[in-house]
Amino acid sequence: MSPDIAATALAAAREAAAAAAEVIRHYWRRGVEVELKPDATPVTIADREAEQAIRKVLQAALPQASIYGEEFGLDGERGDLLWLVDPLDGTKSFVRRTPFFSTQIALLDGDELVLGVSSAPVYGETMWASVGHGAWLDGVRVGVADTAQMAQASISIGNVKTLTADARWEALGALIRDSNRIRGYGDFCHYHLLSRGSLDLVIESDVNILDIAALAVIVREAGGVFTDLDGAPPTLDTRSVLAGTPAIHAQALQRLRR
């Protein structure tokens, strides 16, 4: 992808996230009715209208790219450029009036994640990154901490329900015992905190690529390492996350390997 196309794509992703934020804020103020999808997860008019707003911007700016969204799936056949869109990641939080939800927009060029925008309109911050150009929080460049020892590390745990039945559960417990402190910020929030140096490791075992694609680019461009729990880079099939400072990630991966 040429530098011009990359710049256009990042600008479009930021504009699309801002358009979605307007929709989300509108429904956050007035409230919404909740429906259930076939998989029993909630969806609202805010999810659908936010994705429509995102698609309108992305299609106009980069018509050669396909879009795969949480609410409306893949538009046509996949090309080399593929947008990954979750218009309202954290719908359960949204409907319970908890501000830990966000809009996630990432771009795949072939098999490489090349940019990401993570917008949390009610929480009040937006992060973005593109390969080779660093990670940014509301216009200020950010980076991960230099924490190198587990005894000084702050760990955040997201959704780890399936990990409770995994052989690695005891290893996770030992890891937590050896750390400085444990929190559970969840969703976009702990990745934002990691990227700006406020914590050192994020662990999740139950994710979807649409939840974390943009955040993977942001964490990496902030100087962190972002893999699944087996150390593999994120793909469309990724279901778990191990993200952290380089030293802490390496130590955690060694201890959690099956």
The string of pLDDT tens digits covering residues 147-180 is 999 999 999 999 899 999 998 999 999 999 999 9
- Domains of the chain, earliest start first: 3-133 (3.30.540.10), 150-256 (3.40.190.80)
Summarize pLDDT for 13-58 with one digit per residue, the tens: 999 999 999 999 999 988 888 888 888 888 999 999 999 999 999 9
Q: Rounded distance, CA 129 to CA 141, Å?
A: 10
> Chain-centre distance of CA 11, in angstroms?
18
Q: Rounded distance, CA 187 to CA 151, Å?
A: 25
Binding residue numbers for Mg(2+): 70, 86, 88-89, 211
Output the DSSP codes for 4-42: HHHHHHHHHHHHHHHHHHHHHHHHHHH----EE-TTS-E
Tokens at residue 212, please? 């974390």
Per-residue pLDDT at 77:
79
Q: Rounded distance, CA 115 to CA 61, Å?
A: 15
Q: In this structure, are residues 87 and 71 in contact, taking their beta carbons and an 8 Å threshold?
A: yes
Binding residue numbers: 70, 86, 88-89, 211
Q: Provide the phi-psi class of 75: left if phi over 0, else alpha when psi is between -120 and 50, else beta.
A: beta
Per-residue pLDDT at 258:
65
Summarize pLDDT for 178-228 with one digit per residue, the tens: 999 999 998 999 999 999 999 999 999 999 999 999 999 999 999 999 999
Q: In this structure, are residues 245 and 146 in contact, taking their beta carbons and an 8 Å threshold?
A: yes
User: Amino acid identity of 21?
Assistant: A
